[in-house]
Chains A and B, each alone.
Chain A
Amino acid sequence: MQALTNRAKAVDRRPMTLAEKMYIPAIAKGMGITFKHLFQKKATVSFPEKKRDFSPVFRGLHVLNRDEEGRERCTACGLCAVACPAEAITMEAAERKEGEEHLYREEKYAAKYEINMLRCIFCGFCEEACPKDAVYMSETFAPANYQRKGFIYGKDDLLIPHPKEGK
């Protein structure tokens, strides 16, 4: 049979020699290896003090984007919810009223926009599906919570701060 990789090694089925049967040389060798590891660099990252960098393509918690004037970009078209394989996104659309032009960019907006972070698989399909560049995935991950309802993120959790008002 042809080997799949060139790393394959044939199993040595010869009977053990006396030195191998004595087991001591093998133990000594193993102890040498473990002793070397005592002084090797540790793999642990002391988490709260030190944080590992995320990769540039890391997909963390979602954010809802605003445009340059601080208006919400989302028009509640529902494409993200359709694209979502985990069915984590729900929304309710509403019509923009007179005098709300500074809040919402287009005539329709999401009155309610919820993402269930327990269902979400962070695949990033919502980000790809959004035609208005409203949903983005940030570089943070969901903090722990005591209850399930704490993982359902509403608009106030998702919207990025207003560029001028700071809220």
Chain B
Amino acid sequence: MTLLSIDWFFIIEKVLLISGVLVLSLVVAMYSTWGERKVAAWIQDRLGPNRAGFMGLLQPLADGGKLFFKEEIIPTNSNRFLFILGPSIAMLVACMTSAVIPWGDSLVIAGRTVSLQIADVNIGILFIFGVVSMGVYGIMIGGWASNNKYSLLASVRAASQIISYELPMGLALIALLMLTGSLSLKDIVEQQRHGLWNVVYQPLGFFIFLVCAFAECNRAPFDLPEAENELNGGYHLEYSSMKLGFFLFAEYINMFISSALISTMYFGGYAFPYMDKLGLDPNMVTILGFLALFVKTLLFIFFFMWVRWTVPRFRYDQLMRLGWKVMIPLALVNMLITGALVLARQH
């Protein structure tokens, strides 16, 4: 079925895949809010939400419905266009990152090989970096357009935090790329499928990446831009209704995506031990691989929450000192050692 030399199957396949990944990240983000509250409660010896539905499972729906029906306030002196653009960018950027993550190997459906990755671009990691740094714009524009000095200050803090931690994150990734020799996430996973997981070769790099992921997602102990319990909101101070919901929701999607990314780059992605020795149908192995990635991702999301309810927040100067004086030198040393080892192995 080739009409006007357009491969319609390809388009349908990709549209389905995109919708699937989008729905998956939204649902996971939704239930992360529930999970966050449950984990928080359990760590604090409480029960957590348990009234809406079984185990409180309908709680996210109730929260979402509430946010949609709340009064929408746009401050008179704000820039209306930018005010709406802010949360839109935050949400859009959060949803875009999932495009290059390989959610699984390929399925064979009716003789057609369908890759469970939306776009296997050969610059996958660069794409993610580009998109993630665009996320700062959502925060910056949102805080600036509010025409409120507190929002502006908070967004400046958020932006400088995210930019500061992007550097060691990138440096940690360079060390990983020296090892893999490819920017494509699919290649990175395939290498781990046939060898050891990258975390074995790059424990320090993984650690730096993890810490920076916390800072990038504005999660505790680096949640200064929001500081929910003492500042009244931070950069989204003036936001209400679903626009506020979008900012908060984008944070949870980011958490999901960075968990998936860490699992993909350092913990084998959809690869799991003995996956090629089970003697199962390739489609079955693909589905199991997807589940393996999903479980790894959920474990990292749990880790994010666990850290949040354990470690107190850094002071802003401590945050900056950690970023510039500890993380960047550490990442540089890691890069140097990796480079030396890679060279030594070549000779």
Contacts and interface: CB of A to CB of B under 8 A. Distances in A.
Interface of A: 27, 30-31, 33-35, 37-44, 46
Interface in B284-311: 306-307, 309-311
Contact of A38 (B42, B47, B307): B42
Interface of B: 39, 41-47, 50, 306-307, 309-311
Nearest to A39: B42
A43 B43 CA distance: 11
Contact of A34 (B41, B46, B50, B309): B309
Given A34-B306, A35-B306, A27 B45 contact: no
Nearest to B302: A38
A30 B309 CA distance: 10
A39 B41 CA distance: 11
Given A37-B44, A44-B46, A27 B306 contact: no
12 contacts: A27-B310, A30-B311, A34-B43, A34-B310, A38-B39, A38-B43, A39-B42, A41-B45, A42-B46, A43-B45, A44-B47, A46-B50
A44 B306 CA distance: 20
A152 to B, nearest CB: 32
A35 B39 CA distance: 10
Q: Which 7 A-B pairs have the closest CB atoms?
A: A34-B310, A44-B47, A38-B42, A34-B43, A30-B310, A43-B45, A31-B310
B37 to A, nearest CB: 13
A40 B311 CA distance: 19
A36 B41 CA distance: 13
Contacts of B307: 27, 31
Contacts of B310: 27, 30-31, 33-34
B311 A42 contact: no
A30 B307 CA distance: 9
